[in-house]
Chain A
């Protein structure tokens, strides 16, 4: 897939690298990698925002660095080098959150360090950045990162709003229904699966509809 995009170079090609992450190769809804952390952190919009930003940062930076040094990396030791690069960026994010956004850091907990083993990032390093130019790798990372963040945001909005009746950002409630009888199951683990399944179903429905549209037209 990456090979034939490589041939159609130019600005449009780069833009396509960026936008493909939203729908066509969305890491969560289409590639279905990195699901575990997304199900766990999407309990709140705020968590989704920070987790998404963390993933965008790590994915983009590791893609850029790996693409930059790809000719320097012998094939036999590429995986350890990928892991070192990825783990370094994750640790940078971890320390920064711990130092400047303590409440968020406490809530995201172990999921930030676990970005190291997030399939999205290693898969993009191995399958894309290692064999593509820096610009493309950067766009790929940015695009897939944003696609991930979008899904996380939708899930966070759905779960926090319907599960608690509020949307809290920082210390302030942006929206507050003032209700105490919201279905809290949505912010617990089963709610994550239900929400994710609904999103998947929505995407499949959209796909099926546009397919029949094409056939008729």
Chain B
């Protein structure tokens, strides 16, 4: 009886061990690529969000570490450097809930005004929510708002037929402004 059980357990364990080894090997082979792709995606978003203000994006892992505990929706943090290399703004990669999940890059300047909003990833309904999420014109309406969190249907119109998506974009922007306030409160003005 006990030998039967042991026999089954050992066989199952052996299969699992071989499977685990195979997966470990595969992961080792693709890990670098996965990390690079994810970094490029974030950088591209941050670049688009800061570009209108003429700022260059530079990823800052310690800033993300600082924000992550209090604002869990922040997934990436960039410093916006001006021509002389001093920090003149930030870009935050935030996740937001539209009709589906989406990920935005929001650029904020030193005064807390939005420099740009870019959609890093979205899975909104094609033809409905996807329209404002892909419209640079619509995302551009956030430019210059802040540091007061913009209110949907007051500061920015909701896109008709895509209220959830508009709300998602709005909440993403608000998350980014919250992150900015947190950075500003901690360091006073522009920290580091």
Please list the residues of chain A having a beta carbon within 8 angstroms of any beta carbon in chain B: 43, 69, 72-74, 76-77, 80-81, 84-85, 87-88, 91-92, 95-96, 98-100, 102, 106, 109, 184, 187-188
Majority secondary structure, A binding face: helix
Question: In whole Å, how far is A24's beta carbon from the nearest beta carbon of chain B?
Answer: 33
Q: Inside 8 A of A73's CB, which chain B residues have their CB? A: 11
In the complex, given contacts A69-B15, A100-B30, what are 18 additional A-B residue pairs having Cβ atoms less than 8 angstroms apart? A72-B11, A76-B8, A77-B11, A80-B12, A81-B15, A84-B16, A85-B15, A92-B23, A92-B26, A95-B27, A95-B34, A96-B26, A98-B30, A98-B37, A99-B29, A99-B33, A99-B37, A187-B126
Please name 18 pairs of A and B residues whose Cβ atoms are closer than 8 Å in the assembled complex, sorted by A. Answer: A72-B11, A74-B11, A76-B8, A77-B8, A84-B15, A88-B19, A88-B23, A92-B26, A95-B23, A96-B26, A98-B37, A99-B37, A100-B30, A100-B33, A106-B121, A184-B126, A184-B127, A188-B127
B residues contacting A by CB (< 8 A) are: 7-8, 11-12, 15-16, 19, 22-23, 26-27, 29-31, 33-34, 37, 41, 121, 123, 125-127
Is B8 touching A74 in the complex (CB atoms < 8 A)? yes
CA distance A88 to B31 in the complex (A): 16
CA distance A85 to B16 in the complex (A): 8
Q: Which residue of the partner chain B has the closest CB to A82?
A: B15
* Number of A-B residue pairs having CB atoms within 8 Å of each other in the complex: 58
A95 to B127: give the CA distance in the assembly, Å.
30
Closest to B27 in A: A95
- B23 contacts A91, CB within 8 Å? yes
Contacts of B126 in A (CB 8 A): 43, 184, 187-188
B118 to chain A, nearest CB (A): 16
Shortest CB distance A71–B (Å)? 11
Across the interface, name the chain A residue whose C-beta is closest to B22.
A88
- Residues in A whose Cβ lies below 8 Å from that of B27: 95
Residues of B within 8 A of A87 (CB): 19
Closest chain A residue to B122 by CB distance? A106
CA distance A69 to B14 in the complex (A): 12
